[in-house]
Chain A
Amino acid sequence: MKFKVNGTEIFASTGGRPFDKNKPLIIFVHGSGLTHMTWVLQTRYFAFHGYTVLALDMPGHGLSSGECLKSIEEMADWVSDVIDSVGYKDASLVGHSQGCLVTMECAARNPNKIKTLSLMGGAGAIPMNPELLSLAENNDPKAVDLMMDWAHGPAGHFGGHPVPGLYHINTGGMLAKSRTIKNTLGVDFRACDNYKNGFEAAKKIKIPTLSILATGDKMCPVKEGKKLADLIEGSKVEIIDNCGHMMLLEEADRVLKVLKKFILDNYPSNK
């Protein structure tokens, strides 16, 4: 659906069900340069099982208007504004990669507004490879090719997509190329590289938190994810083996299984 946030028209997938204010809200926040479509194998389940889902296209991404936000802090405040804009008082957040930084910062800044936090492929900081950052800022499509290479585990490189007929690397690459690379990926990568508040934000989080990490994640390795999780009081960690950074697609079913349990236990819906 389309709606306005601070005057800008924004798109969010509702997971194939109508937006319903009577159900608890889960917001999904994508990673650098990507779109709501990365969440298709998680969002539809929750939308069909008692939740209202918004898988956002961040400003300047996918089907959303506006320009990309330039810092993780701005993005965190913007996600909070999304909750207000759709008429909710609170929500549960799910983030992937850069989306983890955004949702974590948002949860730290809005302790009463965010009810649970689920982080996939997250870390306290995501310093960028200088070559990758430079390629993205110079609008070089090789930045996307490198990102897809590093983001997929060995298994993901071969394929084996959970949806018959889809090929991981080319689908992800096409999502990242759907808008001008330097204006999306370049801006996002710079925002990640500049963000230094992750570990401090983590210490402030007191809500139920789940970290889903993958053994083959080269971008946010397990040890970095655990370092972050150790700072979040009572947080849970789930490890997905034989999988890379794009775990939400590479191992969609296993990710959904742990996410379902966490959300249903900590943010139940009676709808």
Chain B
Amino acid sequence: MTDKKNKGTDPKTYKFDTLSLHAGYQPHKNAGSRQVPIYQTTSYLFDDVDHAAALFNLERGGHIYSRISNPTVAVLEERVASLEGGTAALATSSGMSAIFLTIMTLCEAGDHLVVSSQLYGGTVNLFRLTLPKFGIKCTFVKPRDTEGFKKAIQKNTKGIFGELVGNPGNELMNMPEISKIAHDAGIPLIVDATYQTPYLCKPFEHGADIVVHSLTKWMAGHGSSMAGILVEGGKFDWMQNDKFPTMTTPYEGYHGLSFAEEFGPTAFTMKARAEGMRDFGPCLSPQNAWNVLQGIETLSVRMKKHCSNAEEMVKYLLGHESVAWVSHPSVPDHPDHELAKKLLPNGRGSMIAFGIKGGKDAGVAFINNVKLASHLANVGDTRTLVIHPASGTHSQMDEATLKFAGLSHDMIRLSVGIEDIDDIKNDFEVGFRAARKPRLVSNQ
């Protein structure tokens, strides 16, 4: 094992920006096509019956049917796995389906999860209302209550789930400490890192075991395509206890296969694909996978601009007479300011929550009068987006749940885009003027 050309101790593996453009794809295996081809097909020819059997038996790698895997989608999966520092990934039709598939791969009826209380409203509903219908119960814990996660663990708890930076209140989970709690209990930590993308944070480096993303947001970045992904870190030892029998024992659901024995650091993804994608089928279309790949090519360039614009907006909002409060991890008095420095060294993200003076009516007037900022139920677009969570994304919550999730009626959620910063500020001035005189402006 001598490599004369590689003197020195620094590996020459490709770095983040290069992987964003190249990982997962080899042009010479695709007619020399420099761009990733869109394999718009449902299914793939078998060479003979032996080849067909080999693919179904997982004797060989390859594609059978695009619900299970697709060559364009596979490039996206490898690319995201490489950027996250993961061993494997499975792309899905949306971020919600990535979370659902993760939970259904991990849990069975009778199992329990400990879940951060500050989540996207749809995710709250999944854990609070939908998963119990499958016999999976959840205990919610406030994201800053690190000790609370420990106390909530039961004998049948199979994992801890949370958003690294909670939506929409910008509370951080102490990932290193919570991962230790999870690992001491022999269960994995699952982190939704949609807000960060691997450019801002690689959760596997801080103890996470599975990462999920809504690729629809910053990863794709252009507000064009729905997509999600689950990524496996490869460190979690599924065989350390008897909590995960469908991973560690011959599993009737897949020809007696023991995923952990056979696939080790990629076992979770293999099971999620072989069982979850087969049985639930939330596959990603090759066209959308390709669209997301285009976004990822410029991920680091966009994230730098998102973050610099967000920091400018934080300063602007902090000094504005119409703003009651600003929540962003870059603000020195944000409770997680120091933790954010550690977990998000490349930037604190482009999601800002702020309170508008005048409460709900002022919030509604602001939202109704900004013109450049788009009022819609998405985040992570190249364009600046705003929403009033209490009447929008989290409107299905009752008063008590809103309070538990840390939401208030004056809160506006801002996803800062990459437009010229002066144009965003000028647009906000129009909104704030309307908010100060809501009736007058709304009647104009």
Binding site for B on A (CB under 8 A): 11, 13, 16, 32, 35, 37, 40-41, 44-45, 48, 62-63, 126-129, 131-132, 135, 142, 145-150, 155, 157-167, 169-171, 174-175, 177-178, 189, 192, 218-220, 242, 252-253, 256
Contacts and interface: CB of A to CB of B under 8 A. Distances in A.
B82 interface: yes
Contacts of B29: 160
A171 B234 contact: yes
Contact of B22 (A16, A62, A158, A174): A158
A-B pairs, top 8 by smallest CB distance, nearest first, are A162-B61, A164-B69, A163-B61, A174-B234, A149-B11, A174-B265, A164-B74, A44-B59
Given A37-B263, A146-B6, A166-B269, 12 more contacts: A32-B1, A41-B60, A45-B60, A148-B13, A155-B28, A159-B24, A160-B24, A164-B71, A174-B87, A218-B3, A219-B3, A252-B61
Contacts of B62: 162, 164, 253
A99 to B, nearest CB: 13
Contacts of B2: 127-129, 219
Contact of B26 (A158, A167, A171, A175): A158
A200 to B, nearest CB: 21
Nearest to B30: A160
Interface string B10-51: 011110000000111110110000000000000000000000
B9 interface: yes
Contact of B60 (A159, A218, A256): A256
Given A16-B255, A48-B59, A167-B86, A150 B3 contact: yes
Nearest to B260: A63
Max chain A Cβ within 10 angstroms of own Cβ: one of B28, B88, B256, B263: B88
Contact of A45 (B3, B54, B71, B74): B54
Contact of A157 (B13, B89, B264): B13
Interface in B61-90: 61-63, 69-71, 73-75, 77-79, 81-82, 85-90
Contact of A253 (B60, B87, B255): B60
B74 A165 contact: yes
B58 interface: yes
A170 B3 contact: no
A180 to B, nearest CB: 14
Interface in B168-191: none
A157 B87 contact: no
Contacts of A132: 1
7 contacts: A45-B54, A48-B57, A157-B13, A159-B26, A159-B78, A169-B82, A174-B235
Most buried by B among A135, A149, A163: A163
A35 B264 CA distance: 10
Contacts of B61: 41, 161-164, 166, 252-253
Contact of B81 (A62, A147, A157, A167): A167
B423 interface: no
A147 B1 CA distance: 9
Nearest to A97: B1
Given A135-B9, A178-B264, A16 B256 contact: yes
B136 to A, nearest CB: 25
A23 to B, nearest CB: 16
Nearest to A242: B28
Contact of A165 (B1, B11, B78): B78
A148, A160, A163, A166: residue with the most chain B Cβ atoms closer than 10 Å = A166
A63 B261 contact: yes
Contacts of A174: 87, 234-235, 264-265
B126 interface: no
Pick from A32, A40, A256 the residue with the most CB of B within 10 Å.
A40
B57 A16 contact: yes
A13 B25 CA distance: 30
A140 B111 CA distance: 39
A160 B28 CA distance: 11
A158 B78 CA distance: 9
B235 A165 contact: no
Nearest to B6: A150
B262 A16 contact: yes
B239 interface: yes
B266 interface: yes
A22 B234 CA distance: 36
Contact of A175 (B1, B25, B78, B265): B265
A142 B9 CA distance: 8
Given A63-B239, A159-B23, A159-B79, A165 B9 contact: no
A145 B54 contact: no
A158 B53 contact: no
Given A16-B57, A160-B29, A192 B78 contact: no
Nearest to A151: B1
A240 to B, nearest CB: 14
A16 B265 contact: no
A271 B6 CA distance: 48
B23 A165 contact: no
A165 B90 contact: yes
A170 B54 contact: no
A126 B175 CA distance: 42
A127 B3 CA distance: 10
A146 B12 CA distance: 8
B257 interface: yes
Contacts of B88: 165-167, 171
B273 interface: yes
Contacts of B23: 158-159, 167
Contacts of B91: 165
Contacts of A63: 239, 261
A164 B77 contact: yes
B13 A16 contact: no
Nearest to A37: B264
Contacts of B79: 159
Contact of A155 (B26, B71, B234, B264): B26
A167 B87 contact: yes
A166 B81 contact: yes
A149 B78 contact: no
A219 B28 CA distance: 24
Given A128-B2, A129-B3, A160-B24, A252 B234 contact: no
B62 to A, nearest CB: 7
Contact of B82 (A32, A147, A170): A170
A114 to B, nearest CB: 25
Contact of B78 (A37, A127, A142, A167): A167
